[in-house]
Structures are given as structure tokens and as C-alpha cells.
Amino acid sequence: MAGEASKTAYARAQQVLVGGVNSPVRAFRAVGGTPYFAAYGEGPYLFDIDGNRYIDYLMSWGPLIWGHAHPEIVRAVAETAAKGTSFGVPTELETEMAETICRLVPSVEKVRMVNSGTEATMSAIRLARAATGRQYIVKCVGCYHGHADSFLVKAGSGVAALGLPDSPGVPQSTAERTLTVPYNDEAAMRGLFAERGAEIAAVIVEPVAGNMGCVRPLPGYLEAVRSITKEQGALLIFDEVITGFRLGLGGAQERFGVKADLTTFGKVIGAGLPVGAYGGRRDLMQMIAPEGPVYQGGTLSGNPLAMAAGLTSLRMLEEAAKRGIYEQMETYGRRLVDTFCDLGRKYGIPTTGDAIGGMFGLFFHDGPVVDFATASESDQPLYARFFHGMLAEGVAFAPAQLESGFMSCVHSESEIEQTLLAMERVMAGLGRG
Ligand code: PMP
């Protein structure tokens, strides 16, 4: 729970930083209260500037699959930094990173490194438009693909709605080229393509939605989207910024056996440094400059520190996968969800959730949660009380219900046990009203 030091730091930050933060979710608007300020992290723990220790399930919103300050990653960054932080000419680290991504994700034959998930998705749709000569993109309601203009579009009512800007400053002319359908709704996707198929450049989708809580695809959904896009000459872009190397080494594509034309990455591939990437079919990627005419560049893209951190993380994941690390993360996530649901039944509180690979979600909702509409029915005030209760117990979940929780390779039996005991106390309190 934020103490005096965090309160003072937040007041100071608000004078000069917009909302006191550099990304809106950090302001805790969904749960209220003052954000705790990080001092340092160690494995599964985050320590704030008041000296509180939290078992961390936020994990910087996904990148820290090896927890905080993993010695191998810290060493790789330090050794690389000592040789220079950026060169503006190629390094072999970038090739190694690209080779690793291509090896682990078979649909990716060529890669371009960028600096954030937003850059990756923004560039992928530019490429999709260029490759198809079509202007429209389709996204699912409640999926987040970063803050580029084309993605800041909310759904209207009905099966499919013409995009309206979700934010002032997004031109209507851009927003209306983004069409939206509910997640997990195959019929809506078919309907939209029946009407507008010839104009659609690409469908971009989070193969497991991580920005409306954690919502997995219904059986057959991704396969259907794959076949619809193929039939209609549109590209399929999997936004694996969260799921990449988190559901498994091959991400969602491996888990569900569905191949995308283009894939976007971020988070885990940078291990906490600013990185994104997009890649896919060779013939498509060859359209990017300098091989082709579609422009996209970046002063710091493929930054050596980020490459060193990410490569170390991916190498360790490859080793750990052999000992079943992804299954372990899923089992731990499942235990959090199952206990949460059991406690809900015990105390008469509606609860549901899901865990898959290294991500999980907890909803104050009877279930099932399959899309943004159902996710939005969850009890937000109750989540806020749960969140603050858990924080007071030294457990940090995401400061908003409609976000995913993140397990790491360094969460162990001990942290899971402590979390479950804390959950029992907090849910008992909620049950008393
Ligand atoms: N796509 C997905 C699925 C994401 O979850 C996010 C960020 N949470 C992004 C894209 C954007 O990434 P970034 O914040 O690095 O720009």
C-alpha cells in the first residue's frame, strides 16, 4: 500500500509529469488511491520507496518473465553497455536476435526490430495495406494494439461498427478505416467479410486477449479467422506482444497451431528494455525498406542493450522450457484462479478466471467471460477493494481488472502459497461486505 514516501513522490511527479506518470495505467485510476513508487526489484519481488515488499504479478506489464533484476540479464546488459550503448550501424546481436525469433516462431521468416509494441503493430498494418492495396483493418473490441491512431477505435453497437475515434486527436478519416468486431465471434467476422471483404487489408488480433483481463480464444475461433482471411485475400496479423514467448516458446501460434502472415512482438523479447519487433512471411517482409518501398526505420532500433537483455532471456527460456517452465507457470496461474473461484463460492462472491502459459486473469463475474462485453460486466468496485486488500497483504496484481496477470519463471511454490493465504484473508473480508 502506498506509504508517505510514495505519496510525496506522486505529488512531486504530478507537478511535472502528466498525471504523475508516463503511461496512464500507472496512475491507478481504475482502482483509486496512490500508486506505489518502485525502488528496486529482486526476482518475484518489488520493493517500493516506503520499504514495502510485494510479490509482483504485474511484472512491468509482461516483459519480466525472468522476474526483476535477473543476474544473467543484468550482467548481459552491463557487459554490453560497457562496450557502447548505440552505434547506428549494424551489430551481430541484432542478427542473433532475429535468428532466434525465426527459429522459435516458424511463421516468421524475416524480422524488423523496433522499440515498442506500438511501433510493431503500427508498422505491421502499414505493410499489410501496402501488400494488399486495401485500406481497411479489422480489430476486435477490447483488444489493445498500442496507441497508434488506427488502433484507438472503440466499437459501436451491433455486430460490426464503423470506427469512431476513441481519443480526441485521432482523425475521423483514420478511425473509420478500422472496423471492429467482438472478440471470439466467428459469425461477426464472417458477416463483416461478407460485406466488406474486398476492402480489408488485415485482421489484427491478440490470439489470447490480454487487455480485457485474460480471455482465451474459443475452440476453433483462431482457425476460423485464419481461413476467412485467407479466402478473402486479407492478411492475418497476430499481435503477440503479450503472448509471444509467454504462452510457450512458439507463442500462441505454437499453442493453437495457427500460423499468422505477420506477427508483432514486444515485452518478453526485451526483458524489460524497450523493444518491439514485427516479422512474418518473407515475401511480405521484403516489402519493407530498404528491400522494398514500405518505409519504416528507427535511430535506436535493434539497440544493443535491448538485444543483449532479450537474447539472454530467450536463451534461458529455451533451456527452462526443457524442464517444463511454461507448464509450471500455467500450473501456478491455475492455482491462483482456482483458489480465487473456490473462495468466491465459499463467500458468495461471483468469480471466474483463466490461466494459460505465463498469463492469468481474475474476474469478479459469474462467467463465462469470452469478450469485452462480458469482461466489462465484472464488478469493478469489488476488484478495487480486492486489489487494495491484496496490496496491503504484500501482493501486487494489475491496478485494473481488465488486465492480465503475469507469472514469471522465478515465482516459486513459496510465493504462490503466500499469495493463496493472502487471498483467503482478503476474500473473507470482501465476503463480509
Ligand atoms: N499489443 C499488445 C497486445 C499490448 O498488450 C501492448 C501493450 N500493453 C501493445 C501492443 C503496445 O505495446 P507498447 O506499450 O510497448 O507500445
Ligand 1 contact, 263 CB (< 6 A): no
What's the CA gap between 402 and 40, in Å, rounded?
Answer: 26
Residue 143 and residue 247 share a domain: yes
The confidence score (pLDDT) of residue 2 equals 85
Ligand 1 center to residue 144 CA distance, Å? Answer: 7
Pocket test for ligand 1, best of 21, 144, 404 (most atoms within 8 A of CB): 144
Show pLDDT as tens, one digit a residue, over the chain (433 residues). Answer: 789 999 999 999 999 999 999 999 999 999 999 999 999 999 999 999 999 999 999 999 999 999 999 999 999 999 999 999 999 999 999 999 999 999 999 999 999 999 999 999 999 999 999 999 999 999 999 999 999 999 988 533 333 445 667 788 889 899 999 999 999 999 999 999 999 999 999 999 999 999 999 999 999 999 999 999 999 999 999 999 999 999 999 999 999 999 999 999 999 999 999 999 999 999 999 999 999 999 999 999 999 999 999 999 999 999 999 999 999 999 999 999 999 999 999 999 999 999 999 999 999 999 999 999 999 999 999 999 999 999 999 999 999 999 999 999 999 999 999 999 999 999 999 988 7
Residue 79 and residue 196 share a domain: yes
Q: Which of 361, 288, 308 minimizes the C-alpha distance to 120?
A: 288
The confidence score (pLDDT) of residue 144 equals 93
- Could you say which of 276, 303, 321 is where a domain stops? 321
Atom number in ligand 1 closest to CA 121:
10
Q: What is the CATH number of the domain that holds 110?
A: 3.40.640.10
The confidence score (pLDDT) of residue 163 equals 61
The confidence score (pLDDT) of residue 157 equals 37
Residue 121 and residue 13 share a domain: no
End-to-end CA distance of the chain: 21
Residue range(s) defining the domain that contains residue 269? 71-321
- Could you say which of 284, 302, 321 is where a domain stops? 321
Cα–Cα distances (Å) from 211 to 25, 52, 161, 320, 403, in that order, read 12, 27, 20, 27, 5
Ligand 1 contact, 145 CB (< 6 A): yes
Residue 331 and residue 284 share a domain: no
Dihedral sign for Cα atoms in the order 246, 249, 253, 257: negative
The verdict on whether 56 is a catalytic residue reads: no
Beta strands, E only, 281-433: 352-356, 359-363, 395-396, 405-406
- Could you say which of 274, 300, 321 is where a domain stops? 321
Residue located via cell numbers 533451456? 319
